[in-house]
Amino acid sequence: MVIPTIIAGAAFAAAPVAEKPRTNGVVSLDGTEVAVYWDDGDTFYVPSLDLKARLSGYNTLESYGPVHRFGPGEHALYKIASEATALAKSEVWACTTTATEGGYGRKGVDCPDLRRALLEGGLAHVFAVQAGAPQADLDAQARGIAAKNGMWSGGAPKYIVTSVHSLDEKEGAETTYNRVMETATGVASERRHSNIHQACEWVCMEDSCLLYVPYNQRYGSNKAACLK
């Protein structure tokens, strides 16, 4: 019998090892514990279900840079955004899917204990689009304001700018909008406009500001200069 010569590394290359989905926490979703990846304090992804979740009833601050300006200032608010994510990752929160959609292909998910903890800690603010927020959420936020927790350490502005859009984001558009949350009611309403904003421009409305950074300049090698 002739024994074939085996040339090391030539005939049988090792099969590639599949990368495990990136996760950094666990939630109990509809009664079943699942591993998730928290993008920030109000969104997570469930790899096993290919589900992108947007948590209902509140909004955490943007976590891609120091882009909010009110109260304690942009750098303190940027740190608070990170603290919100850390709290979300720290426990196994009980959550349920809802009939609502969270926009951008995301499913609405309700995590009431996490929402209350973030609101009372001043790590999030109430966020309602269609109607006024539930009184229980407003009460939790009011406790955070009274204690000067988190984002409320420099006082509570009447309005907080939560998103900014430029007219040139969508070709042919005649108007676009910025979204502004009224602290007393939690209602985040659209403010229509026809302005073209430049990257790294502060957009101020009422008594708060948000730095305009196009989505494709928030992360990676194309990150805007003001975020570096």
Which backbone phi and psi does 217 adopt, to 5 degrees?
A: -120, 20
In terms of DSSP bridges, do strands 93-103 and 25-29 run parallel, antiparallel, or are they unpaired?
Answer: parallel
Is residue 101 domain-resident? yes
Count of CB atoms situated within 10 Å of the CB of 223? 15
Between 199 and 10, where is the model more confident?
A: 199
Is the pLDDT reported for residue 2 higher than 50?
no
Task: Note the pLDDT of residue 14.
Answer: 54
DSSP 191: E
Q: Which domain holds residue 210?
A: 25-227
Rounded CA-CA distance 217/226 in Å is: 10
Task: Note the pLDDT of residue 24.
Answer: 96
CA dist list (Å): 102 to 94, 108, 121, 153: 18, 5, 24, 29
Share of the chain above pLDDT 70, in %: 92
Rounded CA-CA distance 59/127 in Å is: 6
Is the pLDDT reported for residue 197 higher than 70?
yes
Q: What mean pLDDT do residues 16-38 have?
A: 89
Q: What mean pLDDT do residues 51-68 have?
A: 97
Confidence of residue 18 (pLDDT cuts 50, 70, 90): low
Is the pLDDT reported for residue 90 higher than 70?
yes
Which backbone phi and psi does 151 adopt, to 5 degrees?
A: -65, -15
Mean of pLDDT over the chain: 92
Per residue in 105-161, pLDDT tens? 899 999 999 999 999 999 999 999 977 899 999 999 999 999 999 999 999 999 999
* CATH code for the domain in which residue 123 is found: 2.40.50.90
CA diameter of the chain: 88
Is the pLDDT reported for residue 23 higher than 60?
yes
Q: What mean pLDDT do residues 65-91 have?
A: 98
Structure-block tokens of residue 197? 């904003």
Spatial neighbors of 134 by CB under 8 A, at least 6 apart, are 57
Residue of 220, 208, 96, 227 whose CA lies nearest to 152: 208
Rounded CA-CA distance 43/88 in Å is: 10
Rounded CA-CA distance 213/20 in Å is: 32
Is residue 209 domain-resident? yes
How many domains is the chain partitioned into structurally? Answer: 1
Q: What mean pLDDT do residues 199-211 have?
A: 96
Per residue in 91-116, pLDDT tens? 999 999 998 877 778 999 999 999 99
Helix H, strand E, coil C: the string for 15-62 is CCCCCCCCCCEEEEECCEEEEEEEEECCEEEECCCCEEEEECCEECCC
Confidence of residue 45 (pLDDT cuts 50, 70, 90): very high
Confidence of residue 17 (pLDDT cuts 50, 70, 90): low
Tokens 């589900």 found at? 51
Structure-block tokens of residue 14? 């090792």
What is the sign, positive or negative, of the torsion defined by CA atoms of 20, 21, 24, 27?
Answer: negative
Is residue 157 domain-resident? yes
